């Protein structure tokens, strides 16, 4: 179990770094969008490359932060029923959901996305739009994002099983961020 927990800590560390790095894509996307709007309306010119890079960065934000979001237990949940269940029951729901839904989905999408990326890379696929960008980098984000999500799913599974066996404290409390409301995380 100690080896698995060490693996879990390594995956958590990777997704934490990727998540914090990817957060900068939000600022870069906003700056590019603002600059593109200023140039378009003041100089009456634009480039499809500027629009496409915004889409690429948004894809990076969404796909690469999925594992980071899962590691912080900040993914969307519907707690209407589960908030009334015991902690151990909720942990078991997480275990079953991870094994039967999250991991198979991440594996299948990652597996199917890999040839999609390789084909684009081998053909040096370019955007069909005038002045557009090369397509393979954004297509690489799909298997990479789902690999990070799948690894984080394994990490969360390890932590929940360790908790159920009494090896670690509760791995599910929400991480308090700078804009968190402590009262909002309590069950209603």
pLDDT digits (tens, 9 = 90+) for 117-175: 999 999 998 888 887 788 899 999 999 999 999 999 999 999 999 999 988 888 887 65
Tell me if 187 is assigned to some domain. no
Overall domain count for the chain: 1
Q: What is the pLDDT of residue 60?
A: 95
Q: Which residues contact 71 (CB under 8 A, 6 or more apart)?
A: 12, 15, 16, 19, 152, 155, 156
| Residue-wise DSSP of 140-163 | HHHHHHHHHHHHHHHHHHHHHHHH
pLDDT digits (tens, 9 = 90+) for 121-136: 999 988 888 877 888 9
Structure tokens at 124: 């040096």
pLDDT digits (tens, 9 = 90+) for 45-77: 878 888 889 999 999 999 999 999 999 988 877
- The reported pTM is 0.83
Q: Exposed, middle or buried, 3 (CB in 10 Å: 0-12/13-18/19+)?
A: exposed
Tell me if 124 is assigned to some domain. yes
CA neighbor of 6 nearest in space, from 159, 141, 146, 149: 159
Task: Compute the chain's Rg from CA coordinates.
Answer: 20
56 is in which domain, residue-wise? Answer: 2-75+84-171
Q: What is the pLDDT of residue 130?
A: 81
Which residue is listed with tokens 């934490």?
16
Q: 115 to each of 55, 140, 179, how far by Cα in Å? A: 21, 10, 40
Tell me if 181 is assigned to some domain. no
Q: 1 to each of 7, 26, 167, how far by Cα in Å? A: 10, 38, 9
């Amino acid at each position: 179990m100690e080896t698995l927990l060490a693996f879990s800590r390594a995956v958590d560390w990777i997704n934490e770094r990727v998540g914090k790095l990817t957060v900068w894509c939000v600022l870069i996307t906003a700056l590019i969008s603002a600059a593109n709007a200023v140039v378009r309306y003041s100089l009456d010119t634009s480039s499809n490359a500027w629009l496409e890079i915004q889409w690429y960065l948004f894809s990076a934000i969404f796909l690469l932060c999925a594992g980071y979001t899962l590691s912080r237990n900040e993914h969307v949940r519907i707690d209407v029923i589960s908030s009334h269940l015991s902690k151990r029951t909720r942990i078991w729901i997480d275990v079953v959901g991870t094994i039967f839904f999250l991991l198979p989905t991440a594996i299948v999408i990652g597996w199917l996305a890999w040839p999609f990326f390789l084909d684009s890379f081998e053909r040096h696929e370019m955007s069909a739009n005038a002045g557009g960008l090369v397509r393979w980098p954004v297509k690489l984000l799909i298997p990479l994002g789902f690999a990070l999500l799948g690894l984080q799913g394994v990490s969360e599974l390890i932590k929940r099983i360790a908790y159920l066996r009494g090896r670690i404290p509760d791995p599910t409390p929400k991480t308090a961020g700078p804009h968190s409301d402590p009262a909002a995380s309590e069950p209603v």
